Amino acid sequence: MGNNLLKPAPEYRNGYKDPKRMANIHNLPCSLCFLKGWQQKSKTIAHHKIGLGLGKKASDLLTMSLCDNCHTKGQDAIHHLGKVSWEEKFNVTEQDLITITNRMLENATD
Domain extent listing, the chain: 16-109
pLDDT at res. 37: 97
Q: What is the pLDDT of residue 8?
A: 65
The rounded distance, in Å, linking the Cα atoms of 59 and 55 is 13
pTM: 0.85
Cα gap 44→84, rounded to integer Å: 22
Checking 41-44 for CB contacts under 8 A at 24+ apart, the result is: 41/67, 41/69, 42/67, 42/68, 42/69, 42/73, 43/67, 43/68
